Amino acid sequence: MLDKTSGNPDTSEPVIELRNVSKTFGEVRALTSVDFKVYPREIVGLLGDNGAGKSTLVKAIMGYFRPDPGGEIFFNGKLIEDWTVARARKLGIETIYQERALAEKQPIWRNLFMGREPCNRWGLLDVATMRSEAARLMSQHMGFTSAAVHPDNIVMTMSGGEKQGVAITRALYFDAQLVILDEPTVGLSLTETRKTLDFISSIKTAGKSAIFIDHNIFHVYPVVDRLYVLDRGKIAGLYDKSDISMDDLIDRLYRVARTGSLEE
Ligand SMILES: Nc1ncnc2c1ncn2[C@@H]1O[C@H](COP(=O)(O)OP(=O)(O)OP(=O)(O)O)[C@@H](O)[C@H]1O
Ligand SMILES: [Mg+2]
């Protein structure tokens, strides 16, 4: 359930930790000895050029494939040996992509409960509960106050930002500990992007963590606590937002793009 506990990241033990994770696809070395952590109640940005390895890194976290031998993944401090997509999902790791997250022809309430539908005592789908819970979530957590947006609305008719709101709310409602957002603002207008960024901030207010991948530093910087910069499969930089201004970060990103290094 959503609970409103706000505050700073909790730095006790990471929700997820990658140690020495490498991934090769034939000749391509997509990741090289990556160390990466996300703490509870923290939003971590992941920046890097096309092909830097960002999606590969989060796919390793999602259990989509195994790291090369020698790499380790820890969840809440525990080494996970048999990491799979199903396992990762069961432990509370949810991924949100642009446009791919929802069943377009289904109403909002169906989408919110997709794959985890409550049943009544006769084993039938509890549609009434799903509808009323959907209405509650929409007004309390998604800020959909407009009468035009109703739980029965078909997702196809919603704007991109509203769709991302449904996807993020679904992840939080089902107690995701870690929400992974891989370029969630692709193709969205300015207003829709703003809404999506607000939803991303709400992940933290709900006491959960997120990894936010986006090419646009102007989207990432305002909502994150820490930032990793990936370059050609390697971690090229790690920053606490409080230690670096947006302008300095932009300078450094240009330097990485030019030289592959953050050093002067
Ligand atoms: N399944 C795969 N098979 C072969 N090569 C792959 C595979 N997945 C990724 N790669 C390669 O690994 C490298 C990193 O890809 P990845 O998708 O992680 O980059 P990215 O940082 O997400 O890029 P973008 O910003 O374009 O999404 C690329 O060179 C890519 O071609
Ligand atoms: Mg990618």
Residue 191 pLDDT: 81
Q: Is the CB of 50 under 6 A from ligand 1?
A: yes
CA–CA dist 94, 181 (Å, integer): 9
Q: How far is the CA of 150 from the centre of ligand 1 (A)?
A: 39
Helix and strand numbers, DSSP H then E, in the chain: 8, 10
Q: Is the CB of 55 under 6 A from ligand 1?
A: yes
Q: Is the CB of 52 under 6 A from ligand 1?
A: yes
Residue stretches of the chain with pLDDT short of 70: 1-11, 98-101, 143, 145-148, 260-264
By residue count, the chain amounts to 264
| Cα-based distances in Å from 48 to 43, 216, 234 | 17, 10, 10
Q: Say how many CA atoms lie within 13 Å of 36 toward its Cβ.
A: 32
CA-wise closest residue to 181 among 17, 9, 15, 43: 43
Q: Is the residue at 23 inside a domain?
A: yes
Q: Is the residue at 243 inside a domain?
A: yes
pTM of this structure = 0.84
Q: Is the residue at 163 inside a domain?
A: no
**Which domain, by its residues, includes 239?**
16-100+177-259
* Nearest alpha carbon, ligand 1 atom 3: 25
Q: Is the residue at 128 inside a domain?
A: no
User: Into how many domains does the chain fold?
Assistant: 1
Check the CA dihedral 79-85-89-94 and report its sign.
Answer: positive
Residue 1 pLDDT: 37
Residue 8 pLDDT: 59
Q: Is the CB of 182 under 6 A from ligand 1?
A: no
Q: Is the residue at 52 inside a domain?
A: yes
> Residue 238 forms beta bridges with which residues?
228
Residue 75 pLDDT: 94
* Nearest alpha carbon, ligand 1 atom 12: 30
Residue 69 pLDDT: 93
Q: Is the residue at 5 inside a domain?
A: no
Q: Is the residue at 204 inside a domain?
A: yes
Q: Is the CB of 48 under 6 A from ligand 1?
A: yes
CA-wise closest residue to 34 among 16, 51, 57, 55: 57
CB 188 within 8 A of CB 196: yes
* Residues contacting residue 225 through CB under 8 Å, at least 6 positions apart: 8, 9, 42, 43, 44, 204, 240, 241
Return the ligand 1 atom nearest residue 52 CA. Answer: 21
Q: How far is the CA of 96 from the centre of ligand 2 (A)?
A: 13
Task: Give the CATH number for residue 239.
Answer: 3.40.50.300
| Cα-based distances in Å from 237 to 16, 20, 142, 156, 242 | 19, 16, 34, 39, 15
CA–CA dist 207, 168 (Å, integer): 13
> What order of strands is seen across the sheet that includes strand 93-97?
93-97, 178-182, 209-213, 43-47, 226-231, 234-240
Q: Is the residue at 68 inside a domain?
A: yes
Pairing status of strand 209-213 against strand 43-47: parallel
CB 109 within 8 A of CB 98: no
Show the tokens assigned to 124. 């039938």
pLDDT tens for each residue of 3-37? 334 455 666 899 999 999 999 999 899 999 999 99
DSSP symbols for 128-165: HHHHHHHHHHHHHTS----TT--TTSBGGGS-HHHHHH
